Amino acid sequence: MTNAFLLLVEALGYFGLMAVLFALRGRIGLGVFMTALAGMHFLETYLASVFYVAAPLGILSPGSTVLFSGKLVMLLLLYMKEDAATVRQPIYGLLVGNLLTLGLVGVLRFHSVEPLPGGAMPDMSFIDDMGWLMAWGTALLFIDAILIILLYEALGRVLRTNLFLRIFVSVAIILTFDQIGFFTVLHLLTDAPWSAFFGGWAGKMAAALVYSMLTLAYLRWFERGELPVPRGVSDVFEALTYRERYNALVEHAGRDALTGLMHRGRFNELGAQAVATSQATGRPLTLLIIDVDHFKSINDHHGHAEGDRVLQTIAATLVNQVGPKDTVFRIGGEEFAVLCPYPHALGRLLGETIRQVICLDDGSAPRCTVSVGVATTGPSVQSLEELFALADRRLYMAKDGGRNRVVGEGPAEGWTGSTAISF
C-alpha cells in the first residue's frame, strides 16, 4: 500500500503543478507550461524502461503510470481550452528534438573520447537504448495525442452532456493503445516481463480515472468560459497536421478581389457553420444585409472606377465598425453581409451605427447611403437559408420605405417603421 500511496501523491503533485502553470498561462505564457511538460520526457522514458514497483494492481512504472499518463491528459486539457494548432507545438517539438538527439548521438561516435581521471567512459549502449526508446515513445506520443483529440471530439457527439465520461473513455482507450505499442518495443530491447505489461496497463487505467476526475474538477473550479462545441473530426485532424497552411490558401482564394472581403461562397460555408453553432449552444446569431442605395447612379454619373472606390470605402468601414468576432462578406455587386454573435437588439444597433457612419458627408463625392435588413436566429429561423431570406425581406422593406434606413421587424411582427430617417 505504500507504493500505491506514493503513486497517488506523485500523480496529485504532477497534476497540481502542471495545472497551476496552465492556469497562469495568461500571465506567464504557455511556453512555461510546455517547457515543463517536455522537461520530464527523458525521466519518464528512463523510468518506464528500468524503474518498476509492486502495487496492488501489479508491477508498474511511475514513468508510464504517473508521468506519461499525466502528460497525455495535459495535452488533452491544452486542446480543450486552447486549440489544435496550439497543442501540436509541444508534440512536434518533442518529435523533432528526439530525432535531433539520435542524429547527434550518431555524430558523437566519431569523437575520440578521453577517459575522466577516475576512468569513467560514456556508456554509448545506454545512450543507444534510451535514444531509440525516446524516439519510439515520442512517435507513439505523436500518434496518441492526435488520436485522443480525435476520439474526444468523436465522443462529443454521444457524450456531450457527460464531460467526465468523455475524458475518461478517451484517455483510457489511448493509454491502452500506448501500453501495447511501447511495451512491445520495451520487451524486445530490455526483456521486460509480461507481468509488467498487465500491471502497467492496470496502473494506467487507474491513472486515467484519477486524472479524469482531477481534470473535471480543474475545469469546473478554475477555468472560466465554456468548452467549445464539438467539431468535426476532419477539421481537428487538419489543424493538427498543419493543414491550415492549405486552408490559408483557400481562405485567400475565397476573397473578393476588389474589397478583400470574403465572397458569397465563404458566406454560405461559414454562415451555415455559425447557424449550426447557434442552434447547438442556444446563443443568438444576427445577420445584417447591407445594400448601397442607388449604386447604379453612382456608376452612371461618376464612372465605374469611382463606384469601385465607393465599394472599397464601404468595405473598409464595415471592417472598422464590427467587432472582432463578427464576419464581413461581399455577397453581391453592391451588397454586403455581416454575421455577428449578438442578440437582435444589438444587431439592429450595429446596423444603425453602420448606416450613420456611411451616410456622413465627409466632403468627398459621391455621397452614398445604405439600407440594412436585420434578422436573428430563433425557434422559427433555424437555417442559414431561413436567416438570409428573412434579412433579405427586411432589406427590401427598407428600400421600399425610402432607403437609408435599418429594418429589423416586419408588419406581422409589430413593425412600426424604420430606425432611421430617410433622405
CATH assignment at residue 334 = 3.30.70.270
Helices 163-190 + 124-156 axis angle, to 10:
160
Helix, strand or coil, per DSSP, at residue 377: coil
Q: Is residue 167 part of a domain?
A: yes
| Most confident listed range (18-27, 46-55, 190-199) | 18-27
246 located within any domain: no
Rounded Cα–Cα distance for residues 241 and 150 (Å): 12
Q: Is 364 left (phi over 0), alpha (psi -120 to 50) or beta?
A: beta
E strand intervals along 301-378 = 327-330, 335-340, 370-376
Are 239 and 294 a contacting pair, CB within 8 Å? no
253 band by pLDDT with thresholds 50, 70 and 90: low
Res. 233 pLDDT band, cuts 50 70 90: low
- Residue 13's pLDDT is 95
Is 174 found in the same domain as 306? no
Q: Which of 5-9, 201-205, 299-303, 413-417 has the lowest mean pLDDT?
A: 413-417
Q: Note whether residue 117 is domain-resident.
A: no
Number of domains, the chain: 2
Query: What pTM was estimated for this model as a whole?
Result: 0.56
Residues 408 and 266 in one domain: yes
Q: What is the pLDDT of residues 138-187, one digit of tens each?
A: 888 888 888 888 888 888 878 877 889 999 999 999 999 999 988 888 77
If one compares 391 and 252, the residue with the highest pLDDT of the two is 391
| pLDDT 10s digits, 361-371 | 555 657 789 99
Q: Is residue 139 part of a domain?
A: yes
Compute CA 76 distance to the chain's CA centroid, rounded to the nearest angstrom.
Answer: 12
Residues 143 and 61 in one domain: yes
Q: Are residues 199 and 320 in the same domain?
A: no
